C-alpha cells in the first residue's frame, strides 16, 4: 500500500517513527509530511525520518487555528495531488496523531484515514478528526463513551497501556546527552517541560509552574541542582534562557535519554510525563486543565504525582536501585489498529 503520514508536533515524530519502520519493513511505501512547529522538523532530521515540510503553526487563538487548519489542509491536498501525478498512484491510507490537517485533506481527496490521540478533552480538535477518520486509535484508559460526542462511535480502536511504552520499546538511554549538555552526574538533574501555552485546552496562566521555576532557580543557586528546561517554542526559550541556574538547550536533544538519567521530571504537558513513567523516572505533573483518563489512571496507580505546591518537590538525587522494570510493548499493535480501515 501507499501510506501518507502527517506530523504536526514534536511528540508525533517519536510516536510515528516505529510505525513508519514497521510499515516499510512490510513493504509499504510511506510518505511523510511535517509541519514547521516546535521541534518537529528538527526531530525528523535527528531521527532520520524522511519528510516534506508543509506549512507552519498559525498561533494559539481559535481564529488563528481555523486559518491554519484551512490553509495547511489545502496545502496538503495540493501536495498529495502532486504526489499522485508524479507516481501515478493515489494514497491508500492517511495517518496522523491528532493531525486535523491530514484528516481534512484526506477527506477532500476521498482517502480513508486513521487518527490517534491520548487526551480526550481537546474538544475542537476531536470534533474534526474523529468525524472524518475511519479509525480512532486511543489508549484503553479512555472510556469510548467520552468520544461518542465527537462522532467516534463505532470507530474506536483501543490499545493497552501508554503509547510511550510502544515507541520506546526499542529504546536504550545514551549517556552522551549528559556530556552534550555539560551535566555533572554527581549532582541532581531535574528535567522540566513548559506548559503548552498555544493549546486551546491550556488557556490560562499556570501560577504553579511559575512557582516551580522559582523553586528550581533557588535550588540551583543554593544546592547546585541542575535544571534542564525544555521549552516548546522560541519565545519560551528566549525568556527562560535569561533565568539564572537554568540550562535551556538551543536545539532538540535526546530528551528520552535525558529523562532516563534524570532524578526528577516536572512537566505541564502530557507526553514527557508519560515518557518518564515508561522509563521509570519519578515525575510530577503541573497540568492545570481537565485531566484526561490516562493521567487519571497513572495518578491512581501512583506512577504519576500531581503537584499542588512547589515546596513538595524532592530535588535530591535518586538512588539507581529505585528504577522499576520497564514495560515494553510491540509497536505492531499500533500499526494493525491504524491499518484497520483498509485491512478489515
Q: Helix crossing, 40-47 with 10-25: angle to 10°?
A: 40
Distance of alpha carbon 198 from alpha carbon 65, whole angstroms: 10
Mean pLDDT of 319-340: 89
Contact 256/275 with Cβ under 8 angstroms? yes
SS3 for the chain, per residue? CEEEEEECCHHHHHHHHHHHHHHHHCCCEEEEEEEECCCHHHHHHHHCCCCEEEEECCCCCHHHHHHHHHHHHHHHHHHHHHHHHHHCCCCCEEEEECCHHHHHHHHHHCCCEEEECCCCCCHHHHHHHHHHCCEEEEECCCCCHHHHCCCCCCCEEEECCCHHHHHCCCCCCCCHHHHHCCCCCCCCEEEEECCCCCCHHHCCCCHHHHHHHHHHHHHHHHHCCEEEEECCCHHHHHHHCCCCCEECCCCCCCHHHHHHHCCEEEECCCHHHHHHHHHCCCEEECCCCCCCHHHHHHHHCCCCEECCCHHHCCCCCCCHHHCCCCCCCCCHHHHHHHCHHHHC
Contact 6/96 with Cβ under 8 angstroms? yes
Mean pLDDT of 269-285: 94
Query: Which segment of 178-187, 196-205, 281-290 scores lowest on mean pLDDT?
Result: 196-205
How many other β-carbons are positioned within 10 Å of the β-carbon of residue 180? 15
Distance of alpha carbon 48 from alpha carbon 17, whole angstroms: 9
Mean of pLDDT over the chain = 91
First to last CA, the chain: 14
How many other β-carbons are positioned within 10 Å of the β-carbon of residue 3? 23
Top-confidence residue, 224 or 194: 224
What's this model's pTM, rounded to 2 decimal places? 0.91
pLDDT for 238 equals 81
Strands 135-139 and 113-116: parallel
Rg from Cα positions in the chain: 20
With a cut of 90, say whether residue 284 has pLDDT above it: yes
Query: Which segment of 24-38, 132-146, 201-215, 242-256 scores lowest on mean pLDDT?
Result: 201-215
Question: Could you tell me the CA-to-CA distances from 52 to 104, 123, 208, 233, 343 in Å, in that order?
Answer: 18, 29, 39, 21, 27
Top-confidence residue, 109 or 199: 109
Top-confidence residue, 174 or 252: 174
Distance of alpha carbon 239 from alpha carbon 243, whole angstroms: 8
pLDDT for 203 equals 42
Residues contacting residue 246 through CB under 8 Å, at least 6 positions apart: 213, 216, 217, 220, 227, 228, 229, 240
Beta bridge partners of 3: 30, 93
Contact 187/225 with Cβ under 8 angstroms? yes
Q: What percent of the chain has pLDDT over 90?
A: 77
With a cut of 80, say whether residue 206 has pLDDT above it: no
Contact 277/267 with Cβ under 8 angstroms? no
With a cut of 60, say whether residue 205 has pLDDT above it: no
Residue 165 CA, distance from chain mean position: 13
Question: String of b and e for 266-289 (b: at least 16 CB within 10 Å)?
Answer: bbbbbbbbbbbbbbbbbbbbbbeb
pLDDT for 198 equals 46
With a cut of 90, say whether residue 240 has pLDDT above it: no
Interior angle at CA 127, CA 122 and CA 128, nearest 5: 110
Amino acid at each position: 500500500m501507499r501510506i501518507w503520514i502527517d506530523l504536526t508536533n514534536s511528540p508525533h515524530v517519536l510516536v510515528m517513527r516505529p510505525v513508519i519502520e514497521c510499515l516499510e519493513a512490510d513493504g509499504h511505501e510511506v510518505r511523510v509530511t511535517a509541519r514547521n512547529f516546535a521541534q518537529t522538523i528538527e526531530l525528523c532530521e535527528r531521527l532520520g525520518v524522511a519528510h516534506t515540510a508543509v506549512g507552519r503553526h498559525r498561533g494559539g487563538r481559535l481564529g488563528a487555528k481555523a486559518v491554519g487548519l484551512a490553509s495547511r489542509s489545502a496545502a496538503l491536498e495540493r501536495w498529495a495531488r502532486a504526489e499522485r501525478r508524479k507516481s501515478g498512484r493515489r494514497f491508500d491510507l492517511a495517518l496522523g496523531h491528532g493531525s486535523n490537517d491530514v484528516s481534512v485533506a484526506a477527506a477532500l481527496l476521498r482517502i480513508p484515514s486513521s487518527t490517534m490521540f491520548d487526551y480526550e478533552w481537546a474538544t475542537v480538535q476531536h470534533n474534526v478528526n474523529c468525524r472524518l477518520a475511519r479509525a480512532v486509535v486511543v489508549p484503553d484508559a479512555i472510556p469510548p463513551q467520552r468520544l461518542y460526542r465527537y462522532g467516534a462511535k463505532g470507530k474506536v480502536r483501543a490499545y493497552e497501556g501508554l503509547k510511550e511504552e510502544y515507541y520506546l520499546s526499542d529504546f536504550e538511554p545514551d549517556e552522551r546527552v549528559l556530556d552534550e549538555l555539560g551535566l555533572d552526574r554527581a549532582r541532581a538533574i531535574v528535567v522540566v517541560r513548559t506548559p503548552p501555552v498555544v493549546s486551546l485546552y491550556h488557556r490560562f496562566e499556570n501560577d504553579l509552574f511559575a512557582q516551580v521555576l522559582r523553586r528550581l532557580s533557588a535550588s540551583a543557586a543554593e544546592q547546585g541542582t541542575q535544571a534542564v528546561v525544555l521549552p516548546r517554542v522560541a519565545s519560551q526559550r528566549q525568556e527562560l534562557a535569561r533565568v539564572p541556574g537554568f540550562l535551556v538547550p538551543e536545539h532538540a536533544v535526546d530528551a528520552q535519554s535525558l529523562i532516563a538519567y534524570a532524578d526528577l521530571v516536572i512537566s505541564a504537558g502530557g507526553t514527557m510525563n508519560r515518557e518518564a513513567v515508561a522509563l521509570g523516572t519519578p515525575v510530577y505533573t503541573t497540568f492545570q486543565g481537565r485531566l484526561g483518563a490516562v493521567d487519571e489512571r497513572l495518578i491512581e496507580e501512583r506512577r504519576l504525582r500531581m503537584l499542588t505546591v512547589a515546596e513538595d518537590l524532592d530535588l535530591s538525587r535518586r538512588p539507581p536501585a529505585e528504577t522499576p522494570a520497564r514495560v515494553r510493548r510491540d509497536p505492531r499493535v499500533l500499526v494493525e489498529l491504524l491499518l484497520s480501515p483498509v485491512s478489515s
